[in-house]
Amino acid sequence: MKRIVILISGRGSNMEAIVKACAAEQWPARIAAVVSNRPEAKGLEFAAAHGIATAVVDHKQHTSREAFDAELARAIDAHAPDLVVLAGFMRILTPGFVEHYAGRMINIHPSLLPAFPGLHTHRRAIELGCKLAGATVHYVTAELDHGPIVVQAAVPVLPGDAEATLSQRVLVQEHRIYPMAVRWIVSDALDSRDGVIVHRGGEAQLVVG
């Protein structure tokens, strides 16, 4: 059984989708803990209600990113994870922290990377008149939103879209591709070829919503 620790900062709907898929599809894995940097994160309630261990490491209680990351790593490593899943986790992580979890930490980013790394992806896509938007699951590297891509989902940007309508359309697809990506990893279905992640069985690593 692979052990998964999920990091959240807020609502936790992606975490919820992963918890539910893990149970429904009987993955060879368990969600060992959910950790938040915000004590008020809504997702903590869902995790606790499902019998999952929760922890809070409040970034506001730490004077530097290094000190916060050290405490965060302690909370995570208490659960000996095989995989760390960033699910709406909103703190940039230091290179030392990323190195400690190299090859076993993934993130979902709400854009079609390499377009729009960083924040406010949907607003920026609308402002620039993009016709296609989406989300990307990628391995986390020290460079923000730049790690090897596991799977992407694409959705149209529709006339009249606002940040709220576009982000909702993308979120529906996030809830499809993030559980899929985690399932692939815990069942050892992925391979790295020249730095590119490929599904050994040839399953599509693109979802079009």
How many residues interact with ligand GAR (rule CB under 6 A)?
Answer: 14
- Using DSSP, state whether 186 is helix, strand or coil: helix
70 or 142: CB nearest ligand NHR? 142
Q: What is the DSSP letter of 169?
A: H
The CA distance from 49 to 139, in Å, is 29
Q: Which is nearer to ligand NHR, 30 or 141 (CB)?
A: 141
Q: Give the one residue of 44, 86, 170, 197 binding ligand NHR; rule: CB under 6 A.
A: 86
Residue of 126, 109, 128, 125 whose CA lies nearest to 117: 109
Q: Does 14 bind ligand GAR (CB under 6 A)?
A: yes
Question: Looking at this protein, which amino acid is placed at residue 209?
Answer: G
Q: How far apart are CA 43 and CA 49, in angstroms?
A: 10
**Count of CB atoms situated within 10 Å of the CB of 26:** 8
According to CB under 6 A, which one of 90, 126, 189, 198 is a site residue for ligand NHR?
Answer: 90
Using CB under 6 A, pick the residue from 5, 7, 13, 153 that binds ligand GAR. Answer: 13
Active site residue 109: yes
Under rule CB under 6 A, residue 115 binds ligand NHR: no
Does 10 participate in binding ligand GAR (rule CB under 6 A)? yes
Q: Using CB distances below 5 to 8 A depending on partner kind, what does residue 140 bind out of ligand NHR, ligand GAR, none?
A: ligand NHR
Q: How far apart are the first and last CA of the chain?
A: 32
Judged by CB under 6 A, the chain residues 109 through 138 that form the site for ligand GAR are 110, 135
Single-letter code of the amino acid located at 142:
A
Size of the site for ligand NHR (CB under 6 A): 16
Phi, psi of 105 (to 5 degrees): -135, 130
Sole window of 12-20, 65-73, 74-82, 180-188 interacting with ligand GAR (rule: CB under 6 A): 12-20
By CB under 6 A, tell whether 171 contacts ligand NHR: no
Quote the DSSP letter at residue 60: G
Q: Which residues of 88-120 are buried (b: 16+ CB within 10 A; e: fewer)?
A: bbebebbeebbebbeebbbbbbbbbbebbeeee
Instruction: Say which of 109, 122, 138, 175 is annotated catalytic.
Output: 109
Bond from prior residue into 156 cis (ω within 30 degrees of 0): no
Query: Which residues of this protein are in contact with ligand NHR, per CB under 6 A?
Result: 86, 89-93, 98, 107, 109, 118-119, 140, 142, 144-145, 147
Residues with catalytic roles:
109
Query: Which residues of this protein are in contact with ligand GAR, per CB under 6 A?
Result: 8, 10-14, 87-88, 90, 108, 110, 135, 171, 174
